Structure 1
Amino acid sequence: MTTSLQQVGLAVKRLQWRHHREMNRRLAPLGLSLVQWDTLRHLDANPGASLHQLAELTFQTDQSMGELAKRMVDRGLIERVDGAGRKVQHQLTPTGHDLRQAGGEVAEGVLVESLGRLSADEQATLHELLLKAATDS
Structure 2
Amino acid sequence: MSVAMPVEHNTVPSLPDLFARYHVGWETRDPALIASLHAEDSVFHVHDGSEPVHGRDALQRHCAELFARFDFGFEMGRRRFGADHWVFEWTMLLALGEPGGTPFTARVEMLDVVTVNRAGEVARKDVYMNGAQLQAAFARAGLAR
| Structure having the larger proportion of residues in helix | 1
Q: What TM-score do you get using the length of structure 1 for normalisation?
A: 0.28
| Structure having the larger proportion of residues in strand | 2
